[in-house]
Structure 1
């Protein structure tokens, strides 16, 4: 490096300035330098950041266009459904009568008599014959009234034509109904995807406006508190304040990071920031990164206990469970019982849970998500496979819980020391093409306990049809226990019940949740 100095005497001044700068740099605490770095990044973004902002704006415009297109497509399907639901100009029966006249009677010498002079009588005859075809599936020449038998020279041909036309009519009705149902499904799915894209647009818009400054500051604060995180995301919704998602390496489940993180973010945001689950909700031991979601101003939290065991004490259990932290203060608790036992059943139930959880986390409604899982179960294998779905959606702001059961046994709610049974009659996912998703809603208060389990536990307590009463008594006796202990105890009691009967216990899984 060459330094050009106009006067030799300037060297002393230059060295003095450099020394003073070095002295100031080394004696300023690193915390203030980091703050200065963040401040400079915020006020003087580099070229790369400007380019990234431009790309984000372009993507935001593209998302808006996609959302508009999907909404228009959904609207088109709605218009088609409304149009086809209007009364048709030519009733279906009239079309059938015209087809009979054209196919059988048009070239008959008696056509003017039957279809012109005696039109109303012929009309009544055909109406009665089509009614008989609807009742018995077919008509024969013997079913014709005497007046028509004596006059018509094409009885056999007429009977065959009426039977065939009615079968075709019923088949067309069936496919018209299926087409309308398919259009409704597509309309709902398009609207659901449009809503998801709208959420992505809102999230991206917030990031563009914020420029990532808050995420960077939170990451720096957590690092200083010895809570390293890989990524920080702030998501802003209109209904509630900003939610924070933290991605970090999986710890030893002592949730110390959660308590310290809550305190730190509460101080930064000026509002209580808490997780939805009191205990660590991360159940995937094989994964290296966990996600912690913190919500502003939650009214409730859930303490959850989980337990499961395979058939006959086997370590591989065909029943699976999972927990999910969703947007706007909602959490999902899901159980699934795969067909059969062992490894294959475990794969089936795990696939159902993974797919359902991912759909819910993308923002899809619970009804649409469950229907999508059912369709997946029907398509993913040529052999007969099915799995139950037991879903609980809890709103931690309002205390409302939605129960959705697809082939699952009853759940129990302990409310004010009274036990109520939540049940629904429906087949498991993967059995029928179309399933009716119905939810049961309840309002929870602090101290309420929710219990859901698979049929292995339910069958263990079966005593002459008194399963509900036996389980109610058990739940009342153990309601004082923490949820993890209560779940383990119920599994143990169920195994003991099976042993007393001399049988072999089926796969068992149980989930106990307490609102705090």
Structure 2
């Protein structure tokens, strides 16, 4: 049986993990075979690496690679430490029995010291100390046994121990990467150097191996330099060449020439990497010829050339998948950037998927909350009548002595009387039919108790119906909110999945246009060209004289046919003093606003509240709320209405949903009659259109020259009824329009005027100013004068003027 572990996501759907899928589609036999093959391959690599490092001798007699390799294998995979030790000894045996004996003693000393340290160091933090100590003791004992004790021998042992200590730290970074699949997709520069040092150490083990007078270590050293130069460019190639040449020269002083050759080949091949493999190989051949012809090289020109050609042949035979895989680990390469982009895309898609799941979850929950049972307030169906009367009889007739006579002999008559009594109480509230009362009194022994029980049961049912209504309203509120949240999260998921579009043509056009004006732009990156949402970044030589704002922004406005402004600038820390600037769209319209308000009777606290707020995406909202009555309570009511509206709108939820949600909150939170009007205007600053949502509020006015437009609706105040129906009135605004919103304290103040709408239009038309703040002040002053100097109610005026956006610097009309 295959154990299938199932995870559950937030939406309740079952999701099978990757490991579960693997175990599901691969049989246990196949899985165990692959695991055995992977283990066997790793063990063979350990043995091969150990064999080569066992042969690695530097400075004629030092073996600093053996014990560090053993220590790293012991810490990394302890079960392979014995095969690694035997491989090291086998490699040393190919040199001489003296080296084999030295390696054997060093291995034994390390195992003994590691066993001792494990008693005190459970986490094996100080295992390099065992490496240093075992190497020093072995070298001192070996030299003392052959030549006697000398302080020079002690110094040599300390040098070898220090090298072993450093190499241990290097191998800790490189061997796990070399022998296992790395999850990390980025190598630090230090880790790249450690990997190259490990490869150079392995090549040291091939010193002395020849094929027809051709040196194996030279061929593979040049091959490795070609690979890294092709992958990482001149910097990585030159660094690899220097490290390879240095390690080989430590193994054999006659290879000192190799350092210059490999470094030059890595530099030249890296500089030519844009020409792909053939140009990198050509760089190595040219470097080999130049170094062989113009330096004192101990190897003949023909041998050096043959070694380079063999290295080039191996380089061309290397599969592209291998180089791409290695390149994906090295920062700065195209493959690494693609790997990072792929990883980011996976994370982005995963995040978007989770957000979409939440969106679907909230939508499903909203449908669930939207389902409500049909409640019939009057008792109509026969089944409901039977249930109701059974409840009445249970409390009355069950304990009556005439129960059998009434419900056995006179069942139809008794049931008819009680049904008539129930209908009379349900429709009229009491029984006014005296004939029915007389007949029931003559028929029933406990007539008054039955009537009172019916009245009591009807009152209980009325309370139950009211509670069910409130529950239904709460469910509607939750459903509306969940739908709004679902829409917002769905939009957010689509924004996450939106990738950067390629705008090469537009980027070149911008560069050429700026070059004609004498501005040499180093970099242009266009991230978006959607109308009203242009996002562009560039690097310019300097912005000392505000060229970005004065010249580049107007030029971009002409090219893109949209108002572009400088959003941000940042000085780059470069020798040339370059500046990074970011440009973006600005709104086609701007608003200038003014507001004035006063409390009833000139008091400090007004029952009106107002707010103006940007909503994002070029939209701007203005709202006035008037709480019922005056004073602190009304102020709190209107202030909370405005606060709720502001938070809901800024979250991205639609205006109608926001108002319905606020209405449900205000109508459900208290049994008291607390109402509030709401006057909301949402202006699109890109198109100049406006949407008006009025709930119990007076008309708003638009002044366009001498023309006065009235915007009104007939909705009741928020909280007055359970299910408010919000009408949306749309209007196209023009540059120079004045939008005037007011509370009912201003609109209803003139009590001696029959047509208040005409009066307000006349007052607004007679205003001789276009300044929004002056209009707000003058309106309140004029209304107070019309009311004989009295302030009968809280007054609030909110005025905005709509104008075209005009940049500070004129747009360049010609690109010539």
Q: TM-score normalised to the size of structure 2?
A: 0.44
Structure 2: runs of 5+ lacking an equivalent: 1-238, 246-255, 272-331, 512-518, 520-525, 537-547, 566-582, 805-816
Residues 331-351 of structure 1 show CA distances to partners (whole Å, capped at 9, x for unaligned) of 433234568889998887665
Residues 87-122 of structure 1 show CA distances to partners (whole Å, capped at 9, x for unaligned) of 998642232123234443356565566446655544
Q: Is the 8 A contact 2:699 2:710 kept in 1?
A: no
2:257 matched residue in structure 1: 6
Is 1:81–2:368 an aligned residue pair? no
Is 1:472–2:769 an aligned residue pair? no
Q: Is the 8 A contact 2:703 2:738 kept in 1?
A: yes
Is 1:420–2:707 an aligned residue pair? no
Q: Shift of residue 423 of structure 1? A: 4.0
2:296 matched residue in structure 1: none
Q: Is the 8 A contact 1:100 1:158 kept in 2?
A: yes
Q: Aligned partners of 1:333 and 1:380: how far apart in 2?
A: 26
2:800 matched residue in structure 1: 512
Q: Shift of residue 157 of structure 1? A: 2.0
Residue 396 of structure 2 aligns to a residue whose secondary structure is helix
Q: Aligned partners of 1:379 and 1:410: how far apart in 2?
A: 28
Residue 449 of structure 2 aligns to a residue whose secondary structure is helix
Q: Shift of residue 391 of structure 1? A: 0.3
Aligned pairs for 1:335-374 (under 5 A) are 335-337=624-626, 352-374=641-663
Q: Shift of residue 506 of structure 1? A: 5.0
Is 1:180–2:477 an aligned residue pair? no
Q: Shift of residue 358 of structure 1? A: 3.1
Taking only aligned residues, the RMSD between alpha carbons, in angstroms, comes to 5.4
Structure 1: runs of 5+ lacking an equivalent: 21-39, 226-231, 247-255, 276-291
Residue 445 of structure 2 aligns to a residue whose secondary structure is coil
Q: Shift of residue 81 of structure 1? A: 2.2
Task: Kindly name which structure, 1 or 2, has the bigger radius of gyration based on alpha carbons.
Answer: 2
1:503 matched residue in structure 2: 790
Task: Rate the CA distance shift 1:322–1:192 in 2: closer, same or farther, 3 A.
Answer: same
2:360 matched residue in structure 1: 68
Q: Aligned partners of 1:235 and 1:92: how far apart in 2?
A: 65
Q: Aligned partners of 1:129 and 1:150: how far apart in 2?
A: 14
Q: Is the 8 A contact 1:234 1:242 kept in 2?
A: no
Task: Rate the CA distance shift 1:98–1:128 in 2: closer, same or farther, 3 A.
Answer: same
Q: Aligned partners of 2:402 and 2:604: how far apart in 1?
A: 80
Q: Aligned partners of 1:315 and 1:359: how far apart in 2?
A: 26
Q: Shift of residue 164 of structure 1? A: 1.5
Q: Shift of residue 438 of structure 1? A: 1.8
Q: Aligned partners of 2:351 and 2:458: how far apart in 1?
A: 55
Task: Rate the CA distance shift 1:432–1:259 in 2: closer, same or farther, 3 A.
Answer: farther
Q: Aligned partners of 1:324 and 1:83: how far apart in 2?
A: 41
Task: Rate the CA distance shift 1:7–1:174 in 2: closer, same or farther, 3 A.
Answer: closer
Residues 227-250 of structure 1 show CA distances to partners (whole Å, capped at 9, x for unaligned) of xxxxx99698xxxx673589xxxx
1:451 matched residue in structure 2: 740
Q: Which is richer in helix?
A: 2
Residues 469-501 of structure 1 show CA distances to partners (whole Å, capped at 9, x for unaligned) of 2211123334x854xx15523422421442572
Residues 227-286 of structure 1 show CA distances to partners (whole Å, capped at 9, x for unaligned) of xxxxx99698xxxx673589xxxxxxxxx989986874774xx463689xxxxxxxxxxx
Q: Aligned partners of 1:495 and 1:164: how far apart in 2?
A: 58
1:192 matched residue in structure 2: 484
Residue 210 of structure 1 aligns to a residue whose secondary structure is coil
1:251 matched residue in structure 2: none
Task: Rate the CA distance shift 1:390–1:245 in 2: closer, same or farther, 3 A.
Answer: farther
Is 1:392–2:681 an aligned residue pair? yes
Aligned pairs for 1:78-227 (under 5 A) are 78=370, 80-81=371-372, 91-106=383-398, 111=403, 114-115=406-407, 118-138=410-430, 144-206=436-498, 209-210=499-500
Task: Rate the CA distance shift 1:336–1:182 in 2: closer, same or farther, 3 A.
Answer: closer
Residue 6 of structure 1 aligns to a residue whose secondary structure is helix
Pick aligned residue for 1:436 from 709, 715, 724:
724
Give the count of matched residue pairs: 438
Task: Rate the CA distance shift 1:107–1:55 in 2: closer, same or farther, 3 A.
Answer: same
Residue 158 of structure 1 aligns to a residue whose secondary structure is helix
Q: Is the 8 A contact 1:71 1:194 kept in 2?
A: yes
Q: Aligned partners of 2:400 and 2:604: how far apart in 1?
A: 78
1:489 matched residue in structure 2: 775
Q: Aligned partners of 1:115 and 1:467: how far apart in 2?
A: 68
Q: Aligned partners of 2:796 and 2:592: how far apart in 1?
A: 17
Task: Rate the CA distance shift 1:62–1:347 in 2: closer, same or farther, 3 A.
Answer: same
Residue 509 of structure 1 aligns to a residue whose secondary structure is strand
